[in-house]
Amino acid sequence: MNEELLRRILQEELKGIKEDVTIMKQDISGLKEDVSGLKVDVSGLKEDVSGLKEDVSGLKEDVSGLKIDVSGLKEDVSGLKEDVSGLKEDVSGLKEDVTNMKQDISDLKAKTDRIEECQKMIFNEVGGLMEFRTEAIQKIDKLTENIEFLSHKGNETEKEVFFLKRKLL
């Protein structure tokens, strides 16, 4: 019995081992499929990494170009800052010129006001002189008429005196 029992135990153990081996074979087969799938995935990842390396290389070139562009922009900004500084100086000078021009305009306005005041006085004076002239012309005309009349009267009187003297002689 001992042998029989041992055989049964061994057969059962062998049967268990065979089942374990079968399960392991199935597991290994599944693992092989997984490894095969992983190989495909790794191959795809390698291609992706290769593509990413190309992209990174392109990005590095782009960044290099951008650095050059930024450097140029910095130079441009520096030039613009100088231009702005010059413009600020120009504006400051223009402000001073405007201030001076405002003062000149104010002075000219004051002179213009004085000239207008003098012009009004001259206008009034000319008006008075025109009235005086008109009156003077009228008086001269009357005096001329009177002189002509007196001259005529004088001539007639002389004529009468002449005729009277002639009669008397």
pLDDT digits (tens, 9 = 90+) for 90-130: 899 899 999 999 999 999 999 999 999 999 999 999 988 99
Q: Enter the tokens of residue 132.
A: 């005086």
Q: Answer whether residue 103 is part of any domain.
A: yes
Q: Answer whether residue 164 is part of any domain.
A: no
Q: Answer whether residue 133 is part of any domain.
A: no
Q: Answer whether residue 58 is part of any domain.
A: yes
Most distant pair of Cα atoms in the chain: their distance: 229
Q: Enter the tokens of residue 152.
A: 């005529």
How far apart are the C-alpha atoms of 124 and 46, rounded to whole Å? Answer: 109
SS3 118: helix
Q: What angle do CA 145, 147, 152 make, to 5 degrees?
A: 95
User: On the CB side of 123, how many CA atoms lie within 13 Å of its CA?
Assistant: 6
What local confidence, expressed as pLDDT, does residue 108 receive?
Answer: 93
- Mean pLDDT rounded to a whole number for the chain: 88
Q: Answer whether residue 107 is part of any domain.
A: yes
* Total domain count, the chain: 1
pLDDT at 1 over 70: no
Tell me which H or E stretch contains 37: helix 2-168
What local confidence, expressed as pLDDT, does residue 140 receive?
Answer: 94
Which structural domain, as residue segments, surrounds residue 23? 1-119
User: On the CB side of 116, how many CA atoms lie within 13 Å of its CA?
Assistant: 6
Q: Answer whether residue 64 is part of any domain.
A: yes
Closest of 121, 11, 142 to residue 150, by C-alpha: 142
pTM listed for this prediction: 0.40
Q: Enter the tokens of residue 11.
A: 């057969």
